[in-house]
Structure 1
Amino acid sequence: MSHTALIPSHRKPRQSASKSALRAGVAGGVLSTIAVAGAAAPAQAEPVTQTIEMPTITAGLSTTVAASAEATQQVALDLETQAHEDAAATTAAKAAKKAKAEAVRKAEAKKKAEAAAKAKAEAAERASRTAERTTLSAPSGSSSSGSTSSASTASAPVSSSATGSAASVVSFVQMQVGDAYVPGGTGPNSWDCSGLVQAAFRTVGVDLPRVSQSQSTAGTQVGLGNLQPGDILYWGSAGSAYHVGIYVGGGQFVGAQNSSTGVVQRPLDYDMPTGAVRIL
């Protein structure tokens, strides 16, 4: 016996050719299946490597909040201003209404006072005319004493020696006796002093200044002892007179005196003038 006969062999036993072929076939089939499956499978998407920066939510938030707060404050201020304006308008309307009512009341009171003054003046004028008729009907033998009394009797008739334009001026003012006195009045039924004088001279084509100050220097200055019918009498200084009238002769004048008496005819000593000017 060989000395190696008892040593077992380390080589694997050979497989039969049929088993090797079978294993090769199975392996090939598996690889084919894997290859076909890999070809049919969709390509795997590449992983996202780009970083997207998300907007910061708080960016500009403080500015927006500040603007909103400012707008809210402005609205509040506008509402407060409107409230003040409405209150002021209401107060002004109440004040205007009260002032209007007061003005109406004063106007009515003034109107009543003027009406009462006019009625009083008319009553006085009627009384004067009654006295005048009584004087005219007196006997001729008493004419001298009647002439003396007429100088102190309001609206006593005067037989003026005026002629021409002066007579027209005298006639005009005497026809206005009894009319009302109204500040700024220029006729035809109410006058102030200078308005009456201006209208009287306008009847003879003479256009005098409107106010008494100017009328007191419109002609030639004459002394009170040298008066003629138609002369303009003035009270106060020449150039700054505060009242004017017309001398009608017989020591009397006609003038729009005041709201209580209206237009009257009076003797000079009733209210002695300061001076006189002659236009005609």
Structure 2
Amino acid sequence: MSHTAHIPSHRKPRQSASKSALRAGVAGGVLSTIAVAGAAGPAQAEPVTQTIEMPTITSGFSTAVAASAQATQQVALDLETQAHEDAAAEKAAKTAKKAHAEAVRKAEAEKKAEAAAKAKAEAEAKAQAEERAQRASRTAERTTLSASSGSSNSSGSSASAPSSSSSNVSGSAASIVAFAKAQVGDAYVPGGTGPNSWDCSGLVQAAYRTAGIDLPRVSQAQSTAGTQVSLNSLQPGDILYWGGAGSAYHVAIYIGGGQFVGAQNSSTGTVQRSMDYDRPTGAVRVL
């Protein structure tokens, strides 16, 4: 380690010549000013006032800006109002279109309903007229049958010779066949015994009653009420049955010509049919 210590210098750095001259000039100027002020005496110096002009917004420009803002706001309000009006008009148009379609649909439905009601009323009126005509015809035929039956019974006549045609039948058989044919078109009602609705055995019993013959009420008993005969040797007035003799479930009256009259069911009512329509099981002759 060196015995000589390094001691930092406290000397100020030298100023440049230009800085020194500037300082000298400033100092001289200040001294000169003070000297002049002292020579002038106690007179007080006037303050120096400097006015800076700033740009101002003219009143016309401000009015224009305000008018422009107001116009912009009005345009926005007008657009919003127009949008609401357009939406309301579109909604009203849709509602009107829907209401029109619904009105058209209802009108068409009412028109169809009126047409159906009119057609139904006409059909019912026609059916009622036909029914009245049929009842009147059957009433006339029954009156005639009753008169002829009474005349036949009073003279003590019996059944005529067998015949395959109902037009050639006379006596009791003719009375039975004519009565049965007069009921064609009547309704089928279970347990019906007339005068305008029948079940199968009720019709057979009523037909035989016109000839003065009382038959059992039900089909099982009617199927054994007389002599069993072949289906190939039938005569008008014979009783046809379906099922076994003594256990028949349906009966009808043979009217000749391969046909029968019977109260069939609630769908067909009392009908005249060919035996081929529903072939019977057997037959019984009561006359």
Interval of TM-score (by shorter of Structure 1 and Structure 2): 0.3 to 0.5
Computing the radius of gyration over CA atoms, which structure comes out larger, 1 or 2?
A: 2
TM-score w.r.t. structure 2 length?
Answer: 0.43
TM-score w.r.t. structure 1 length?
Answer: 0.44
Work out which structure has the larger RCO, using CA pairs closer than 8 Å and 6 or more positions apart in sequence. Answer: 1
